[in-house]
Structures are given as structure tokens and as C-alpha cells.
Structure 1
Amino acid sequence: MSDNKPFLQVRSEIGKLKAVMLHRPGKELERITPQYLHELLFDDIPWLKKMRNEHDGFADALRTNGCTVYYYEEMLEEILRDDKIKEQLVAEVLEKSNIANPDLEAQIKEFLMKKTSSEVAETLIAGLHKKDFQETIRDKRLVDYIKEEYPFYINPLPNLYFTRDPGAVIGNGLCINSMNTFARERETMILKYIYTFHSTFKKEVTPLWYDYHKKYSLEGGDILVLGENVVAIGCSERTSARGIEDVAANLFSQDEKVRQVLAVQIPFTRAYMHLDTVFTMVDHDKFTIYPGVEEKLRVFRLSPGKTHPKVEVLPDLQSALKETLNLSAIDLIQSGGGDEVTAAREQWNDSTNTLAIAPGVVITYDRNEASNETLRKHGIKVIEIEGSELVRGRGGPRCMSMPLVREDL
């Protein structure tokens, strides 16, 4: 591969998956306590040992099917071997951590700069607990007294194993997203450093479709690359209408292939969260969908305009998919076998959050038995992984993966 040839390549949801970015759950998950569950976007306390075993099974399934796995934490550690990059990133993380005491901030920076690149990478993900930093004598500020019961100087990032949300590859470019919640903002900051300084991303030939500094939220779980000419983006609890317009405008002006963006408005609730929690693509003309949600969706087509994307209201999701993908018919496969109770139970366990690794081949959680059987009845090959602990963060195989390279269809 020549130096001037882009590495990233994603022109569909279903092309054979060749390279993916994951984050293996780590110490950050053991820093979730009941009192901070809501703040850290969790509903329950996960068991890390089991979670890591399940995640390793997920990575093994990908490798077995010809996919190269890149780990977020390893790429971070590699760029931190450069002391200038380490100092710059540590300073930015501390600034965003709202320590609000310059003396303390300087002491923590000095403490971290003495650590190895591996130790700093772990701290930037797992956070810095107060017990891990031995304070020297200093004058206390008001903020020190106000925050004395809070356990962290740098917050942990327990949601990072959902690598789908901070970044999304479209074509040969990358969206480094603007997260809707403060708890996840540092994930995209770190991804920007990896994009900028890690050779794998080839920044010089890899355009940015979106940057986390933008104030309008956009998250990867809402972005589905339906084909080389069309992208669907959910307008959800986590992704804003303006964020969709801005990334569409960038694609239309800088990518020669994407000519349409389908904006799919879903109910703004945590149960639905992102578009890929209720709808994913599993084959050329097959999609899995949470039963009943189709009637609650609004679909808009964005296309190139003079000053901003033109917006057209479309009748419904099914007709929008057929028209934009040039299909005479599509198969909407209802999760849970279409049974209302089963579908609701399995949707809570991310039954529709399938990861296609090839046309008609998906990875799912084994616990969603009815949904998996329904997919098989519709001709889909289902590769099951265990996910009893992974699912506690409210995400499935698609959420846990950031595709970097897919074969063209």
C-alpha cells in the first residue's frame, strides 16, 4: 500500500469487514459505583473479568472471519511514546477535567509525565483516582473543599468499549464526533490525537467529515453507510438535526460518491438512543427492525444545495430505502420474531444492534434467541457471541465496533 493511498474505506454496511477498531474493557469499568451510574451512562454494575472474556470472544469471532483488529488503547499508547504528544494530550485532558486549581493541575501533570506511555494511556482511559495520586503540601482552594468527596481528578471512560460512537468512517474519510454527553467527550478528544499522530490513519489523505469541536452533537451509532451513494443518519436523543446537516454538507462538497443522506428521526428516548438500536442493515435488501418503531419514524432526504443541503420529506422508511438503494423490494425483519413482549425484552438487550461482517452474515448476542432465529429464517447467517456482561452498557456488537475497512460490494 503506497503512502498516498488512503487506508480507511467504508462504502457500505455489509461489505466484508477487513479492519476494525475495538477497545477491550479495562480498569475504567471497575470504577463505576452505584452513585455515579447515571452520570456515567450505565444502568448496572458490570463484572469486568467476565466482560473481558466476552469481548475477547467477540474479537476472536472477527479475526476468525478475516478481520484485522486494532485496539484503541494500543494505538493511544503508541502515539504517547512521543513526549511532546504526551505532554500536549495530558495538558488538554487536565484542562477539560475542571480541576480548577492551577497548582494541583501542575502537580498532576508532572506526576503523569513521569509515567510510561502505557501507564499514561491507561490513566487517560481509566481515569485518575485521588488515592492514586499522592498530593504534596499546597494551599487549598475553594474548589478543593467543594469537590473533596468526589473520588476522581480525571474521570474514567467506561463507555469507550462502544467505539462506534466517537468515530465513524464514511468512504475514505472520518467523522470524529461531537458527543451529546459530557461523560464521553474525552473519547473523541483522544481519537482526534490518534487520527492526527498515528500512521494507520494517514491524516494527509484522510479527510475529516466532522470534528468533535463542533457544538452540534453527532454520534456514530446514528450513522449507517447504506451504500456508496447514500448514508442514513438518525436524528435521535444523541444526534442533532444541525449535526446531520453539517456532515451532509461536508460529504456533498468533498466526497465524489455520496449524493444523498437519509435523516431518520427516531423517538428521543434512552430506550432507542441511536438509530442502530432499532434498525440495522444485514444484507443487500434485508434489514432488522424493532417492531412498531417504523410507524414512529420520520424520514427526510438531504441532497446537495446551493448554500445548505436541500431537504425533502419522504413518505416512510420502506419506500425511502427502496428508492435510494434502487431496490424493487426490501425485507424488514422484525426482531423478537415480531412478538411484542419478546421484541421489547430482546431490544433492551440490543437484538437489533447487529454487526454485518459480510453480506448476509452478522454477529449478535446469543441471548437474543428469538431474534437470532428470525434472522436465520430470513436467510441470514448468525454468528453468536456471549454478551451477558457486555450488554450492561446498553450496546451490542455494532456499538462495540468501529469499522475501518470493508471490501467494496
Structure 2
Amino acid sequence: MQTIANTTSDFIRVSSEIGTLRRLLIHSPDRGLGKVVPSKAQDWLFEDIVNLDMMRRDEYDFYVKLLLYFLDPDKIKGRVANLAPGTDRGFFKPDHPDYFASEKVIDIQCLLSDILADEVIRTKLIAAICGIERTSFKTQQQLTSVDPVELAKILISGSLPDRTMLFAPLPNFIFTRDIGIVINDHILLNKPAKQARTREALLAQYIFFNHSLFADYRDKIIEIPDNEHAFLLPDSDTARDLSRSTLEGGDVMMIGPRHLLIGCSERTTLYAAQQVMRLVFDKGVVDTVTIIKIPKKRDYMHIDTVFTQVKRNVWVLLGTLARTGDEARKQDVMHFFAPKDLSEDLKILQFRKGQEQKPIEIENLEDLLANISRNDLGATEPVTFIYSGNNEFPFGAREQWTDSCNLLALKDGVVVGYDRNDYTAEAFRQAGFDVVTAAEVLDRFERGESSPEAIENTFIMLPSAELSRARGGSHCMSLPLLREGF
């Protein structure tokens, strides 16, 4: 069992979306993903069922190797052998003896295994999960005798090694961004909107409050309170989100050293956004909070599905929620898909600490993002926008659905996305970026023709036939713990 230890004084700090990534949490696809069946897929927040072996071997394996090369190269150099599709390139889960045990690219399953070695924590967590999942007392007793590594796999996947299912899997656990977010040196624990993710939130809570990695930060963990009177309200009111406190990490971006973005979406309520704003202002964590209301549509889900940052002065975003200046193209989209311009459903309010009653309304995403580039991050070059699908109908909407706007910045100007979004890739080329596959980048690194330090202005494409079925991109599949500051 790999035990992760905190060996640095500055283990956690994130003050931008584009500072060089130094440490993050991931969760590689587990056996629970192979348990999703069509009749339950939507209940478990999936649009489709996936080929687990292909997702692991031909897709996610590239993601892990890229992360290791950028964050912990000694763990991977010389070990990227055969990059041909369909070959075994060494995908290993944390319990495998050949797993690339890294203290910089950390699988959350390792952390769960670590805390389950403590008998008290183990007993409490098993009881809590068995209560949530309404299992029999016999099952609860059975789990107490399982070793910590296997128990972590069971609590995540919902199944025993012999494939017997005890409760539902957690197929969304690969999207570690949604369970928490680092805001400077604080950790915000999120509250998922859907019942299918309740167990994820509980596991995250136990890990952050009990693992030694976070011992120095326990007084800096922020939990979002519920409305204490919500249980008294009619069901019709709570169903309309008037009092619910739900928030997921895809709706939170630490965009600058003192500036936090919070989206109000299908998954995050205005009540929760207001509570987070109050807490971060009271704790002095940031000075500015911008709340972005987007349409409550499954198409969008979180703000990081409609825009992410590429470089200090470059952003990728969805044109139909932006001011693109191409009204004819917008009319095409309206004619086929919407009764009105979708950008009318966008509302942006910016709040400054001490002036919460006087928010500033910002008209459009481009103005907001350009202001962040210039004022929060000190960009001196012109601010550039790259639009999903190159803003061509209908590819903007099609490629946004497969996460063209959901990119993870490994460093300023170097981002990871999916290879299936051809028109978005062309937009990157037109903006002066090198567009290369993950296999090509790894091959260059292995041959010594390039390096993570030398590479710049690059869009790295992950193979994504199966990953894209899960409805989340590289931004969703990461929980940055440490980035170099701006």
C-alpha cells in the first residue's frame, strides 16, 4: 500500500487556473465504471456506458503519463515503451505493485486506503456508508474484516472482488474536480446536487479531515452550510432550488490571487454561491467574487463546460453564451435549437468585499474574462478568445458536448483536451498553437526532442472515444492542490 505523506511546508496553494501545475488529485477509472448499465446510466449521471478496458488502456493511461512527465518525471522517464493504440502501455491501479506511486500525481484511492488503516475511522466510515446505502448489518460486519486497500476499492466501486455488487458504483469519482477546490491555501468541500454523488462527498470529507496530508490545513477547510430551515419548507420550494445548498467544483474557479468565480448552474444553487461568498470574505481568502448564472441545462452542467483558461491572455469558450459579433450564426443556432439567444440567460454579477450590496453587473463573458486577464493576471498582450467548434454551426454545440471547453492547463499556454473536437483544434491552430496528440508529446519527451520545461503554446489531445462518453474533460478529471503563483 502506498502511503502519501506531506513533506513540504507549502503543500497546498492554488491562486490561478494557469500557474504551473505541481500537485493534483486524480482518480483513475475503477471497476465500478464497468458496472454501469443502460437502465441506470442516467440515474448515475452517465449518458452512455463505456468500454472500461479501452478507457483505461488507450485513453486515461495517456493522461496519467502526461501528468507524471510534467509533475513527477522521474517516475515515468524511460518507462513509456509502446505507444501504439491497443497495446499494453502499463496502466496500473494504485494497488498494483507496478503502480507509478507519486506524491505529486495522487490517486484519491491511495488516500482512502491510508485512512482506512485507522480502525476508528474505518468503523465510522463503514457505518456511515452502510447507513446511506441501506445495507444489511451483515454486510456492515463483513466490510469490517476487509483489508484497507480492498475496502477502499469496494467503497468506491460498490462491488466485491468476485463482482458481487453491494451498492451502486461511483462512476463520477473520476471527476475529482467536483468534490473539492483549493482557494489559495483553503480547501472548499463541495455539496453535490445529485443523490448519485452523496457517497463521493462523504468519502472526500473523511479524507480531507483525516489524512495526514491535510493535517496543517484542517482549520482551513470550508464546508457549505445548509439552510437550517430548509426542511420546514414545502417540497415545491426546495425543488425550485429556493433554499438548497448544492455546489460542485466545476462551478468554482480560483481565477486570480484574490478573485473567485462561482457558477450558478444545473448543479450549483444561488444560495450555495452566496454562502461561499460570505465564508471566503469573512475568512479573508479573496477580495472579489464573481457569480455567473448560466442556463440550467444538462448541456452545460458547470461553468467549466462553457469556458476554461488556456493562457494568461487566452480563453476557450462556447460562442452561443458569448458576444461573438456574428449575429447570423447565432440566428442559425436560435432557429434550430432555442427560442431566443442563449446569451440572454447569462447573468454576471461581481461582488467586492465590504461592498456586497453594490454588485457590478458585467454584460458578457468576453468582458469578464478580458478583465481577469488584464487586471488579475497582468496580461499586456491582447486578450484572445478561441471558440468551441471554431464557432461554426453546428460544431460549436456538438464539440462543447464532448468537452471542447473543458481543458486543464499544465502550465501557462499548455493545455490538455480531447482529440475528437476537430474544429476546436483547428481554432487553436489558427490562434498560433501547436496541436499535437498525447502520444506525439510523450514520444518527443522520451527521445529528448522536447521537455515539459521547453514546450509552450500547445494543445495536447488525449484519445477520447470512451472518456468523452462520461461527460467530463481533463479539467473535470483534476483537483489541483498546488500551482505556482502568479
Q: Distance in 1 between matches of 2:124 and 2:384?
A: 50
1:38–1:129 distance in 2 versus 1, CA, 3 Å: farther
1:88 Cα shift?
Answer: 0.7
**Matching residue within 124, 144, 147 for 2:155:** 124
- Whichever residue aligns with residue 365 of structure 2, its letter is L
1:406, 1:14 → 2: CA distance? 8
The equivalences for 1:188-337 within 5 A come to 188-204=201-217, 207-211=220-224, 216-256=245-285, 258-294=286-322, 295-296=343-344, 297-305=346-354, 311-324=359-372, 325-326=374-375, 329-337=382-390
The letter of the residue matching 1:87 is T
- The letter for the 2-side match of 1:155 is A
Amino acid at match of 1:60: K
Q: Choose which of 133, 140, 144 in structure 2 pairs with 1:97.
A: 133
* Identity fraction in percent: 33
Mark the CA change 1:55 to 1:132 in structure 2 (over 3 Å): closer, same or farther. closer
Deviation at 1:303, TM superposition (A): 2.2
Aligned positions of 1:4-23 closer than 5 A: 5-23=9-27
Match of 2:468 in 1: 391
Contact 1:4/1:205 (8 A) holds in 2: no
- 1:342 equivalent to 2:395? Answer yes
Aligned match of 1:149: none
- TM-superposed CA distance for 1:63, in Å, is 1.2
> How far is the alpha carbon of 1:132 from its aligned partner?
6.3
One-letter amino acid of the counterpart of residue 368, structure 2: A
Post-superposition CA distance 1:228-271 (Å, at most 9, x none): 01111111000111111111111112134x11111111111001
What amino acid is aligned across from residue 361 of structure 1 in structure 2?
V
Given candidates 400, 405, 416, the residue that maps to 1:363 is 416
Q: 2:428 aligns with which of 354, 367, 375?
A: 375
Unpaired segments ≥5 residues, structure 1? 134-151
Structure 1 residue 312: deviation in Å? 3.2
Q: What is the aligned partner in structure 1 of residue 145 from structure 2? A: 114
The amino acid of 2:287's aligned partner reads: R
Q: Give, in whole Å, the separation in 1 of the partners of 2:219 and 2:190.
A: 15
User: Residues of 1 paired with 2:219 and 2:386: CA distance?
Assistant: 35
- For 2:181 and 2:385, the matched residues in 1 are separated by 24
Partner of 2:446: none
Code of the aligned partner of 1:316: N
Match of 2:124 in 1: 88
Q: Aligned partners of 2:479, 2:261: CA distance in 1, in Å?
A: 16
The CA distance in 2 between the partners of 1:371 and 1:206, in whole Å, is: 42
In structure 2, distance between residues paired with 1:315 and 1:389:
37
| Residues 39/131 of structure 1: CA separation in 2 closer, same or farther (3 Å cut) | farther
> Does the CA-based 8 Å contact 1:167-1:177 persist in structure 2?
yes
1:309–1:362 distance in 2 versus 1, CA, 3 Å:
farther
CA separation of 1:213 and 1:132: change in aligned 2, threshold 3 A: farther
Q: Which amino acid aligns with 2:399?
A: E
Change (3 A) 1:62 1:129: closer
Residue 196 of structure 2: SS of its match in structure 1? helix
Q: Tell me how far apart the structure 1 counterparts of residues 315 and 8 of structure 2 sit (CA, whole Å).
A: 36
Q: Distance in 2 between matches of 1:368 and 1:322?
A: 25
Correspondent of 2:67 among 52, 56, 62? 62
Alpha-carbon distance in structure 2 between the residues aligned to 1:47 and 1:41: 16
Shift of 1:131: 8.4
